[in-house]
Amino acid sequence: MRVYFSNQDKHGLIVNVDVTKKGDVYIGDAHLPGVQLLKQSWHASGKGHVHTPAGRLLHTPKESPSNIPKPRRLWGSAPDLALLDWTYRPQERPRRVNVRVDVALFKKAPSWTIDIWALPSTTEIPQVLASYDIVSQHAVMEWTSPAVLAVVWTMRPEAWASLERSIRGAR
């Protein structure tokens, strides 16, 4: 799965998600030109790693990705459009889900967030989507174990207004 922003003929990759035949899950975050800030892995053994520019961190062993009992949010980001590498070229492949997010969305809300979920079953999709304020789009890789769901979402306008008031009041 690849989630990317699109501005006419330019594209900026936000996140890539791969699930191997062995059941390992790999997630790489938004790419700055020549830099990947965060990469994480969740292995079939249950162990996981987070790779940062400062080094590798070990996750506490958990259950195997294919044996999760309930939906688990794996990754989330509200990317800054100015920091994306706009040279990404989307590729169509039989086993790849491409999620194209038009930058025109940013005219409708101050910020949009992209979340990646692991699901024990695609029947969990309505439950996960119901937990969000406004969902612009979502996509699922249903043939993998776990299934992987990407959600592009934002808050309601009144929630943004409340957040802005609280930030101004804290100054």
- What does the pLDDT look like over 68-79, one tens digit per residue? 999 999 888 888
State the residue range of the domain holding 24.
2-170
The pTM of this model reads 0.84
Based on the structure, what is the number of domains in the chain? Answer: 1
For the segment 6-21, the average pLDDT, to the nearest whole number, is 90
Q: How many CB atoms lie within 10 A of CB 35?
A: 10
Residue 113: name the closest of 131, 95, 96 by CA: 131
For the segment 95-109, the average pLDDT, to the nearest whole number, is 82
**In degrees, to the nearest 5, what angle opens at C-alpha 120 toward C-alphas 18 and 111?**
60
- Residue 146, preceding bond cis, omega within 30 degrees? yes
The highest-confidence range among 12-26, 56-70, 83-97, by mean pLDDT, is: 12-26
Average pLDDT, the chain: 85
Query: CA-to-CA distance for 13 and 29, rounded, in angstroms?
Result: 8
